[in-house]
């Protein structure tokens, strides 16, 4: 008697019958047919997976992130353990802004493939977009430890660090980024900003100059260079850079303000008034622009204009002592001595309460 184990097969046929009935070949033929069908289905599935991955990648390359996500979702359903499907789906969700879904896919993927630097990088970006910077830094540093040869990892880590005001650490990452990719103009700009915020203005100037050599039309490139010059007291060079930026950003209150402020510091109050008036029209809540405009009007001999601008600056920032001092000067010129004395008293009290804040000679409080 033959020994056999009763097991139900894929096609629902009792394997015992194959052993007990060697003469009857029908069950065997049925099972073979079933196996052929299963093999054909497996082969078709095997062909479908790479096709879906390829379709998703083409959609990603074309910027059609919704189509990419659909293709990679199907691929992942066919093969949950497909690394390519998981990578593509995470990136598609990230690009679409579907952050919760991207986080879920990413967490699973980095656990399954802990040495994949891209997965750690992309999950770090998901957390950055969710404003969860501690997790973002952790995953981006993980990506960097796995593969530090890509400038974009250093660049993205620097972005998170800059958002946390960790300028020295950001500078280190950006130095790595520009070493790998010296022609990355934006990385040079951000490195310059990191230097600027760590009192390395000379190095900042060099980075902004490099960025503009790479891309002369870099947005706000001349603005950043001008700001660095201004911080070094090189006002004429600062004004020249702001003027170069102005055609690219004609309605930017930031550019207009810095230009007017530098012109005022350089003694060119007529030009300063033109640009500062534009700032106050575009951004009426800009107290620094109103303060500088008041100073410029005072230099022009327009006490009435100065009083109006300085009172507006005080309304916007009552605790800033500087406008009170300038207002006292304007009122004194108008012969309003009692009002001038009151403003001087307010100025004195505010200075005592805020000893760190600049006074009349310090310009606007930044």
For residue 27, give every residue at least 6 positions away whose Cβ sits within 8 Å of its Cβ, in sequence order, or none. 13, 17, 18, 21
Look at residue 243 and tell me whether its pLDDT is greater than 50: yes
CA atoms within 13 A of residue 147's CA, in its CB half-sphere: 13
Q: Are 48 and 26 in contact (CB under 8 A)?
A: no
Mean predicted lDDT score pLDDT of the chain = 88
222, 224, 220, 225: which is closest to 252 by C-alpha?
Answer: 220
251 pLDDT higher than 90: yes
* Residue given tokens 């700009």 in the structure block: 189
H helix count then E strand count, the chain: 19, 0
Residue 357 confidence class, pLDDT cut points 50, 70, 90: very low
Angstrom distance (rounded) from CA 58 to CA 199: 46
pTM of the predicted model, to two decimals? 0.78
Taking only the tens place, the pLDDT of each residue in 180-204 is: 999 999 999 999 999 999 999 999 9
For residue 270, count CB atoms less than 10 angstroms from its CB and return exposed for 0-12, middle for 13-18, buried for 19 or more.
exposed
Residue 341 has pLDDT above 60, yes or no: yes
With a cut of 60, say whether residue 358 has pLDDT above it: no
Average of per-residue pLDDT across 343-357: 83
Average pLDDT of the segment spanning 12-33: 42
* pLDDT at residue 44, as a whole number: 46
**Which of 284, 186, 363 has its CA nearest to residue 174?**
186
Mean pLDDT score, 124-148: 98
The secondary structure of 108-177 as a DSSP string is HHHHHSTT-HHHHHHHHHHHHHTT-HHHHHHHHHHHHHH----HHHHHHHHHHHHHTT-HHHHHHHHHHH
Q: Please give the pLDDT value at position 123.
A: 98
Residue among 238, 215, 244 at smallest CA distance from 225: 238
Place 58 in a pLDDT band, splitting at 50, 70 and 90: very high
What integer pLDDT is reported at residue 264 of this predicted model?
96
| Spatial contact of 275 and 263, defined as CB atoms under 8 Å apart | yes
Question: Which domains are assigned to the chain?
Answer: 46-147 (1.25.40.10), 285-366 (1.25.40.10)
Q: For residue 7, what pLDDT band results from cuts at 50, 70 and 90?
A: very low
What local confidence, expressed as pLDDT, does residue 46 receive? 57
């Amino acid at each position: 008697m033959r020994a056999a184990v009763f097991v139900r097969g894929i096609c629902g046929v009792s394997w015992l019958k194959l052993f007990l009935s060697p003469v009857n070949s029908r069950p065997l033929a049925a099972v073979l047919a079933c196996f052929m069908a299963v093999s054909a289905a497996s082969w078709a599935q095997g062909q479908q997976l790479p096709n879906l991955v390829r379709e998703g990648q083409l959609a990603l390359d074309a910027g059609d992130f919704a189509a990419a996500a659909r293709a990679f979702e199907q691929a992942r359903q066919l093969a949950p353990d497909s690394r390519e499907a998981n990578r593509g789906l995470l990136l598609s969700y990230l690009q679409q802004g579907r952050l919760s879904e991207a986080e879920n896919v990413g967490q699973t993927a980095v656990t399954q493939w802990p040495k994949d630097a891209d997965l750690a990088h992309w999950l770090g970006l998901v957390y950055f977009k969710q404003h969860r910077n501690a997790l973002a830094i952790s995953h981006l540093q993980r990506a960097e430890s796995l593969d530090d040869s890509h400038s974009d990892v250093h660049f993205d880590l620097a972005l998170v660090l800059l958002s946390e005001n960790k300028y020295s650490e950001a500078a280190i990452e950006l130095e790595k980024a520009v070493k790998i990719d010296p022609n990355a103009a934006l990385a040079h700009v951000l490195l310059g900003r990191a230097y600027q915020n760590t009192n390395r203005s000379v190095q900042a100037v060099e980075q902004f100059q490099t960025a503009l050599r790479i891309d002369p039309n870099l947005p706000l490139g001349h603005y950043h260079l001008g700001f660095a010059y201004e911080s070094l007291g090189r006002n004429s060079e600062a004004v020249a850079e702001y003027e170069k930026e102005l055609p690219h950003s004609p309605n930017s209150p930031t550019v207009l303000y810095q230009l007017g402020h530098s012109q005022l510091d350089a003694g060119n109050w007529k030009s300063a008034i033109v640009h500062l008036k534009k700032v106050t029209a575009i951004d009426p809540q800009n107290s620094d622009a109103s303060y500088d405009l008041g100073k410029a009007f005072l230099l022009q001999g327009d006490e009435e204009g100065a009083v109006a601008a300085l009172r507006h600056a005080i309304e916007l920032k009552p605790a800033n002592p500087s406008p009170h001092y300038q207002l006292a000067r304007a009122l004194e010129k108008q012969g309003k001595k009692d009002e001038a004395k009151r403003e001087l008293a307010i100025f004195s009290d505010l200075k005592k309460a805020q000893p760190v804040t600049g006074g009349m000679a310090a310009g606007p409080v930044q």
